[in-house]
Structure 1
């Protein structure tokens, strides 16, 4: 067994009581070495994180009961360093009965970090740097209802974008959008998520912000638009909001905010007449 114990891999075997009965030298080293050997111990005794220990132990019990293996990635990151390990476990059978669990642990930190970086890029609007519609559609937390706290959705539409594109070129139109995005992002309180939905439309999703808070945000954005307008370019954003406690499905709430924004746009148009 010496050659297996010396294998440059994290391999372990647990018995029917979820106790470690065999570990490679590397696996033992990563878990504390000989002075803190994990042999004869369950994860409830080994892991310092109680929640993680419970998850591992209950997963072992499930494998022993069903005979079906499992596979997952555990996050051991610290504020200084990322660390992700993939754990694969399979049941070990003898005469048709499960007698234990064999597992392999692989360091997948580079892979997970790269995947997250690529995911982050796919969720970002290249022009403005804000989150995009992909992010909105993939984040269920934006749809989560919480009757104890309000949520506000503020829709924003950058006025005159088509006119600027047609008369001054798309470089000026891009400048207008970047300036609008910066104003919305700077106005957003902590916890609010600014998103570019596409074209000239933006969404500011504000969990925990009530109707009064939404109106204050809108006033802040309008004031910032005036401050960020100059002789070269006028920044004008139509704004509308909808607030509830999560009673409506997210898409319905978004449509309400959109209607309020178009009402603001209509009133501005009528005033200019």
Structure 2
């Protein structure tokens, strides 16, 4: 019986997409590592506060400060900086192991999630190497064992992705929102999900051969999704009620959704 289920592999991390939009995050330090942390946080729409003496600022961090993208205090960290109960997390990036450990202990006392740069045992979470293409985010984590290796793996993955994958995902996201407006009821949930899954390409591959996806999709390709316009979406949604899934060409040819028959001879799944 046990052979039917995945084997448990301990020692990993629970990889999540932490939503920090409009939440306060404290960054202690202003060097190169801090610059990367600050950019990641701003990309996630967090409210960032940086604490660091001015003479220790990286050019990028100084730029963020000068352009008021972050709140800034020109001094070293003080325990009272953690008194704000709105602080969601603390990130330290300073060349002072003793000071970093002290901040870690203070965060534990206040039950604030913290990441102490280059000290895995004193991290509630890790920063992986991230590939970003519009709404697409792919993170590679080595659980603190080899950050440089994570960067190499991330580059390998990114190099094998279609250049337009982010745009395709954005278009699918727009379609999903419009579908919920057309069929908002909870009772429509199962049908809505089934129809949506039929539209979205299902990538069934265990190899990094995504650059060939557009050649093996039996119906819509990434290029089709990228080319899909507002009018195409409106036309496509007319096929929801009769529960049909047309091609982009059929939509643009103006096929009547009440007359067009889907015989099941093709699907939307991609196989490699």
Q: Common fold, TM-score beyond 0.5?
A: no
Larger radius of gyration: 1
Q: TM-score, normalised by structure 2?
A: 0.26
Q: TM-score, normalised by structure 1?
A: 0.26
Q: Which has the higher contact order (CA 8 A, sep 6+)?
A: 1
Identify the structure with the greater strand proportion. Answer: 1
